[in-house]
Chains A and B, each alone.
Chain A
Amino acid sequence: MDALQLLVSGLANGCVYGLIAMGFVLIYKATEAVNFAQGDMMMLGAFVALGLTNEHYAHLPFVVAVPLTILIMAAVGYLMDAVLLRRTFGQSQIAVVILTIAIGFVFRFVAGVIWGHEPQSLESPLAGRDIRFGGVVLGLDEVFVIVVTIALTVGMYFFFARTKMGVAMQASSQNQMAAYYMGIPVKRVHSLVWALSGAVAAIAGILFASKGSIDPATGFLGIKAFAAAVIGGLGSLPGALLGGIIIGLVEPFSARYLGGDLARLMPYLILVLILVFRPHGILSQVQAKKV
């Protein structure tokens, strides 16, 4: 029973990592840029939700605050691309990496100024309720996280595979020039992908904040989620979820059986091993590098 609870809480954690990783993958899949600010976008989303819901701030009902947060973060994502990232069009990947890291610094600063640096928790209706299931007590928030994540992943998968917009996003990722000739507004598509990833970040943030407390440094979770994305394969949405779950499960179990110091090592050890032996992740689509 103990192991089962560890399993569920690990899964729930893993799903949050997976959701942040999904934000990375969305952007990487469509624009081949890597957004190191994804963790900070998650943090910002959590704080926006907190600012809208909590009694101390705007005190809106949770059902109103959630869609509003998602909208705001989608707008933030769209503007990030339209105002900043678009100008680096054609620069090296590393320039984009550094730019997004810098944007993350700014987000952390903004969140710190508005909401302070003390840890706060979201007053969500999910927190603190349990589900009893055959002698096992599971937190409602944890179950909810898992369900939402699975639904979102399936939705995203079909979005990319079946809808016109999703295919356009894939096309503009694979060859910008060719996509442009086919009449795809590449720049707008890129911005929309950033908006989508902002919305995903907002959802991840809300889920994370309803599980525990957040502060501006929460954004560093993005590094772990990034490891998840790479373990799963940077170009694959199911891979992101898989990587997130692997990390989410490895952490509590290794903490239990190997001790805290080694447990902190494990995600990155797996990451390094994956990078050395299977550089493009578990579920990769890469066969060979084009010159």
Chain B
Amino acid sequence: MRIIFKKSYDADIGLFKHGFHAFWYMLLLVIAIALPYLVGEFLLGEFTSMLIWAVAGMGLMLLVGHTGQASLGHAAFLAVGAYTNVLFMENWGLPFLLSMPLAGLCAAFAGMLIAIPTTKLHGIYLAIATMAIGILSESIIVILEPWTGGVSGIFAPDIELFGISFNRYANITGMYWLYLAITVLILIGYRNILRSPLGRSFAAVRDSEISAQAMGVNIARTRTLAFAISCGITGVAGAMMGHFSGVFNNETFNIVISITLLLMIVVGGIGFIQGAFMGAIVIVFLPQAISFVRDIINGMTGGSSMTIPGLESGVFGAILVAVILFEPNGLWGRWLKIRTYFELFPFYRRDMFRRQKSYLKTERMR
């Protein structure tokens, strides 16, 4: 059992709780940097895809996990990021280093535009409104054909940076490192937002809007900012996704992607940054795991390679049901429990992470 002795007020909001904490994350970073030397090209591509999902998940996590506003339409902002990024590069000839942040800003602006009329909506109604926006965006992409290429889609050019060209097929290692750098930058930014007054006000709005208001938090402004930052991060993820997939159209950003994004962070663990990464790992590596298991089963039974269409989403749905029922805090929450069990051994109690039960009340008044 470790007792942390805090010697200054800053220790409360430090990036790391203690030395070992920092050590483990640095070790993880070193492994992540060395990954191209450890795994093959195919797996490296999967890890790159995982980073993109993780960034998109972080964007949504800021909104859902830390500000408590559900969104079922975040694919719309992925789309804004992906399209504006390519348009800036193609039409204005901007370099990637400039077009990607600009794409993020555009997505943030779009998010703000969405947030302002929906500030009055809560819970389920907000989820519905964002879902409607997600569906609308899909059709808007088709209508804006002169810019977006409509149904036939649009090609993302290779990223040119300091004379090096990054392409998924020609230079996956470079692309992985580039995306890793972007992910780490966003991660640090996210952590810093959380320990700033803004991040505190996000948490206050999430936990109780009324108490937040009583403490002098401007709810409308905070929610709008949360939407803007969240959509900005998601927009950057969209730009990354565009370059990774090379070509994309309206179908790339349909409502299923929005739903999957939300489900992903729930599986990972709502309210933890790590949850976004855990969820991304599940999303990206589940198909691999399924085909791996299938190969083993086929090897044992000697049967031919049978495939069941839609198995991935079925298994994913089943995992989600299990997570919601047995572990509402997601995979990261489960890991925290296991860790606490060993840290406090033998003093861990079952009710340590128990949530307070609240009986739901009607919204209707008669």
Residues in chain A near residue B6, CB distance under 8 A:
none
Distance of A175 Cα from B361 Cα, bound (Å): 6
A6-14, A83-91, A206-214, A237-245: which lies at the interface: A83-91
B136 adjacent to A269 (CB under 8 Å): yes
Contact A275-B362, Cβ < 8 Å, known A104-B317, A108-B310, A109-B314: no
| Cα of A216 to Cα of B359 in the assembled complex, Å | 36
- Across the interface, do B364 and A235 meet the contact criterion of CB distance under 8 Å? yes
Contact in complex: B117, A276 (CB < 8 Å):
yes
Q: Is the CB of B128 within 8 A of A32?
A: no
The DSSP consensus for interface residues of chain A is: helix
Complex contact B324–A95 (CB within 8 A): yes
| Given A98-B263, A275-B118, A275-B129: A174 in contact with B310 (beta carbons within 8 A) | no
Count chain A CB atoms within 10 A of each CB in B122, B128, B262 and give the residue with the most.
Answer: B128
Binds B, one of A41-49, A152-160, A223-231: A223-231
A255 CB–B CB distance under 8 Å: no
Which chain A residues in 28-82 approach chain B with CB under 8 Å? 32, 34
Alpha-carbon distance between A175 and B364 when the two chains are bound, in angstroms = 10
Cα separation A220 to B366 with both chains bound (whole Å): 34
Q: How many residues of chain A are within 8 Å of chain B by beta carbon?
A: 58
Tell me which residues from 232 to 280 in chain A have a Cβ below 8 Å from any Cβ of chain B: 234-235, 261-262, 264-265, 268-269, 271-272, 275-276, 279-280
Provide the A85-116 mask, 1 if CB < 8 A to any CB of B, else 0: 00110111111011101111110111011000
Q: Is the pair A98, B316 in contact by a Cβ cutoff of 8 Å?
A: no
Residue pair B321, A279 in contact (C-beta under 8 Å): no
Contact partner of B364 (CB less than 8 A), chosen from A87, A174, A264, is A174
The reply on A117 being an interface residue by CB < 8 A is yes
The answer to the question of B302 belonging to the interface, with a C-beta cut-off of 8 Å to chain A, is no
Contact of A95 among B308, B328, B357 (CB under 8 A): B328
A223 pairs with B266, CB closer than 8 A = no
Closest B residue to A275 using CB positions: B129
B300 within 8 A of partner (CB)? no
- Beta-carbon contacts of B122-156 to A below 8 Å, as 1s and 0s? 11110111011101100110110000000000000
The CA of A176 and the CA of B359, in the complex, are separated in Å by: 8
Q: Which of B122, B127, B129, B313 contacts A97 (CB under 8 A)?
A: B127
* Per-residue A-contact encoding for B254-296, CB less than 8 Å = 1, 0 else: 0100010011001000000000000000000000000000000
When the two chains form their complex, are residues A287 and B365 in contact, meaning their CB atoms are under 8 A apart? yes
Q: Which residue of A lies closest to B255 (CB)?
A: A223
The residue that B136 contacts in the complex, of A90, A265, A289, A291, with Cβ under 8 A, is: A265
**B358 interface neighbour in A90, A105, A110, Cβ under 8 Å:** A90
Q: Which A residues lie within 8 Å of B314 (CB)?
A: 105-106, 108-110, 112-113
With contacts A98-B320, A216-B310, A272-B129 taken as known, whether A290 is within 8 angstroms of B124 at the C-beta atoms is: no
- A94-B124, A272-B133 given as contacts; is B255 within 8 A of A109 (CB)? no
Which residues in B have their C-beta under 8 angstroms from that of A291?
A: 210
Q: Tell me if B361 and A98 are in contact (CB < 8 A).
A: no
Verify B320–A290 contact, CB threshold 8 A: no
B318 at the interface (CB under 8 A from A): yes
Contact A90:B359 (CB < 8 A) given known A261-B139, A275-B121: yes
Residues of A within 8 Å of B121, CB to CB, are 275, 279
How close is B364's CB to chain A, nearest CB, in angstroms?
5
Q: Contacts A93-B124, A113-B308, A289-B363 given: A103-B357 contact, CB under 8 Å? A: no
| B contact residues around A226 at 8 Å (CB) | 128
Give every chain A residue within 8 A of B350 (Cβ-Cβ): none
State the CA gap A98–B139 with chains docked (Å).
25
Proximity string of chain B (28-56) to chain A, C-beta cutoff 8 Å, 1 when within and 0 when not:
00000000000000000000000000000
Closest A residue, CB atoms, query B208 = A291
Indicate which residue in A88, A268, A275 contacts B125 across the interface (CB closer than 8 Å).
A275
A interface with B by C-beta (< 8 Å): 32, 34, 84, 87-88, 90-95, 97-99, 101-106, 108-110, 112-113, 117, 173-177, 216, 220, 223, 226-227, 230, 234-235, 261-262, 264-265, 268-269, 271-272, 275-276, 279-280, 285-291
Can you offer 6 A-B residue contacts whose CB atoms are under 8 A? A97-B124, A102-B317, A226-B128, A234-B124, A275-B121, A279-B125
Closest 10 CB pairs of A and B: A109-B314, A105-B317, A102-B320, A106-B317, A268-B132, A102-B317, A112-B310, A99-B324, A271-B132, A90-B357
